[in-house]
Structure 1
Amino acid sequence: MAAPSAGVASGSAEPSWLDTERPAMRPDVEITEGLHHEPLAYDPVSGHYTRLSKSGAAILTALDGSMTGREFAARASRTGGGDGSTRQVVLDFLGELRAAGLLTVPPDGGRDTSAVRFARRSHMPRRPLVGSGVSAVLDPPAALLRRAPLLFGVLWLAAAVFAVWGAGSVLAAPLASGGPDLSLPVWGWTIVVSSMLLQTALHELAHGLACRYYGVPVREIGVGLLFYLVPVAYVDRTDAHRLPGRGSRVVIALAGVAQDVLWLGGWSALSMYAEGRFGQLCVLMVWIQIGLLLANLNPLLPTDGYHALESAMGTLNLRSRAFTALRCRVLREPPPSWLAVRSRSRQLRYQVFGVVCLAYALLVAVFCVRSLLVLFGGA
């Protein structure tokens, strides 16, 4: 009867509220379905989705406030034919539901609540620039794409093949033999910066367009600081959790990269014919496009590539689960119910992935700081 909620930790201690409070599911919480039609609990106040097992959803919906938590656990244990361990699992799960804010009993701010906040933290301060109204702008082109998806898919594939061939040809040409030339005049850097800003905006709009293609609301588009240091743009596509299939999630995750491939093709085409300073600028942009594609497809950071890999594998919150498993191991905390039922080898894989992601993020941070010091003459 173990009923996990994503990234939520709980202890074996039985808090006193289980004897005094009569928990019920908050009336505004919605039970819906997500990947593989697995149950999700949606909190409209926080905007978060909590993944549940089928038994977990049954427990949550059965909480009606008519009995205390301990009475409910005892009844559930008798009904399921379980023993004392089943009763304890239910009690722990009630604590997880409370910490997740899904019950009429508010979170107590203790360790369980801190674990939920840790798991949900994006480590990226955000500043929204455009709200949900952007959907009205994206709906017409999304409707056009729905009319002939195969045609547009074939056209993009042809453009992608040309982009890869063109980039290879440019990098093999004598003009690019010495690597990217950074000695551009002011007008050259103006073009580079302006082009990158436009491309970034279109990259995020591509994610939004893919969301609207599948009927997923776009909450907002904005900018943030990944790991509090790296400037990035983002599209809040949280409601894509409601999509039941893997393919649609992969398309949404890679929509921005698909648009970047077109930019690579465009700059490659210009590089084949441009000469002089502008030719050097075009070659530099080809190098930049390749670097951006490699960075966006990196599965060790919360990038488009990571989200696509997660979707293709049919997993949810892989990084969050990995960090939760690592946190429980390092701090010697009791694992949440979803982790406790996993095999030791599965738990170890979560922990290893968490260590690799943290180490890579540290390397990226050190590289960024070092680059800033060099740029401003500090090193």
Structure 2
Amino acid sequence: MISSPPKLRDELEVIRGMDDIPLIFDPVTGNYHRITRSGEVVLTYLDGTRTRDDLVAHFSRADQGRAEALSRQIDGFLAALDRSGLLEGSALPTKPQGGGRVRTSMLMPRIILTRALPRVLEPLAAVLRAVPAKLLVVIAVLGAVAGYAFGFHTLFTATPPPQDLTVTAFPIATGVMLLYVLMHETAHALVAQMLGTPVRGLGVALLFYFMPVAYVDRTDAYRFRGRGGRVVLAMAGILSDGWFCALSGTVAMNSSGLLGDTAVMLLGMQLLMLVINLNPLMPSDGYTALEAATGLTNARGRAFALLRHTVRRQELPAHLAKLSKGARRGHMAYGLFSVGYVCLLAYAVFRGVPVTVHLALAAVGR
């Protein structure tokens, strides 16, 4: 039990995140701590002048039955703040801001390669801030759409079949694709820099501990309130990929031999990358953009729960029953799109097996 008058550390900041959820930002660790809206109210009274008993008396308003329940809730809330080192006198975190260079999770350990991106990108970001934001977005979107259309039209109509491509083009295309991925992540970082929420670092994550994936730490995107900016931040990588897709298509259209084959393989890899980045079933760029645009969290869970209860003709739980008709239709559409995505992906994998086997055999000289 917290005995002395609890006081929130002075350097902490309370902000609102996705779905308007209150968050406490700790500049010592760089961590965000999620709290409830009722907890946010209690925070305003943690100024070191009120004891725990004062807080219970104030919020219970002399109601003894209510005081007992509030007593347990306030004790739990204060204990959680104390464990997180958020109260004056709590054990302070020992990690520096942003943590170390290596972080682990259940399925994706992450290694920070550099924290210098904000400094490197600021000169360009300063120039772009002088241009009207809407104009920049229109140019980026139109260029990306045109680039994807041109690149994939070239891939499917003006290139040789995969089995006729030079095998040595594959490792070259893979190397170039890594540069494209780096530019994809740099695009996220550039938009974050323009919005005043610089990324914390550029690094590599090992998906399932063996598949390398580049990423930028956009934790501080929580700090930007505008939905439009959050959507652009989430989609920046996909938009930049469209411009590079146009570049690959131009090379594939106007080249032959090893260079042309490399460009064709790059187009195939870029198509796969687009499919992955629009994956509605994982925390992809597309899913992040959807959350940013709607202001919702766990839209995927709500959508599949709604589909499941509808198909089984079961009574909807309270959190789904209270959705408006428009929101319900939107979640249903998202769920059906997700099912269609899985079916299309399964079909593409099935059709791609013979080509993959052929390329693998050719690579080993068989």
Whether the TM-score (by the shorter chain) exceeds 0.5 is yes
| Residues 140 and 240 in structure 2, CA contact (< 8 A), matched pair in contact too | no
Question: Is residue 204 of structure 1 aligned with residue 185 of structure 2?
Answer: yes
Q: 1:297 Cα deviation (Å)? A: 1.7
- Structure 2 vs 1, CA of residues 189 and 344 (structure 1 numbering), >3 Å: closer, same or farther? closer
Q: Distance in 1 between matches of 2:219 and 2:196?
A: 13
Corresponding position of 1:268 = 249
Q: Pick one of 116, 119, 134 that aligns with 1:136.
A: 119
Counterpart contact for 1:180–1:283, Cα < 8 Å: no
Deviations 1:55-74 (A, max 9, x none): 42221231234555455334
Residues 217-228 of structure 1: pairs in structure 2 closer than 5 A:
217-228=198-209
Q: Which runs of 5+ in 1 are unaligned?
A: 1-16, 108-119, 323-341, 361-366
Q: 1:137 and 1:73 mapped to 2: Cα distance?
A: 51
**Alpha-carbon distance, 1:151 to partner:** 4.1
Structure 2: runs of 5+ lacking an equivalent: 92-103, 302-316, 322-327, 329-334, 343-348, 350-355
Q: In structure 2, which of residues 11, 28, 40 is the aligned counterpart of residue 28 of structure 1?
A: 11
> Which of 261, 275, 278 is 1:297 aligned to?
278
Q: Does 1:252 align with 2:236?
A: no
140-149 or 195-204, which deviates more:
140-149
Among the aligned pairs, what percent are the same residue?
37
Conserved? CA contact 2:152–2:271, under 8 Å = no
1:307-359 superposed Cα distances (whole Å, 9 cap, x missing partner): 2122112135x49x97xxxxxxxxxxxxxxxxxxx94548xx9xxx9xx9xxx
The 8 Å contact of residues 193 and 199 in structure 2, kept in 1 or not, is answered as: yes
Q: How many residues align?
A: 310
Greater mean deviation of Cα atoms: 142-151 or 286-295: 142-151
**Superposition map of 1:1-379 within 5 A:** 17-18=1-2, 20=3, 22-34=5-17, 39-66=22-49, 68-69=51-52, 71-78=54-61, 83=66, 84-104=68-88, 106=90, 123-131=107-115, 133-148=116-131, 149-173=133-157, 175-176=159-160, 178-179=161-162, 183-185=166-168, 188-316=169-297, 318=298, 343=318, 345=320
TM-score under structure 1 normalisation? 0.68
Distance 2:18 2:232 in 1: 14
Distance 1:26 1:79, change over 3 A: farther
AA at the equivalent of 1:49: Y
Structure 2 distance, partners of 1:80, 1:166, is: 70
* Alpha carbons of structure 1 residues 124 and 181: separation in structure 2 relative to 1, 3 Å: farther
User: 4+ residue stretches of structure 1 with deviation over 6 A?
Assistant: 79-82
Higher relative contact order (CA 8 A, sep 6+): 1
Measured in 1, the distance between the counterparts of 2:63 and 2:114 equals 49
> Using the alignment, how far apart are the partners of 2:318 and 2:88 within structure 1?
33
| C-alpha RMSD of matched pairs (Å) | 4.2
Distance between the aligned counterparts of 2:33 and 2:57, measured in 1? Answer: 25
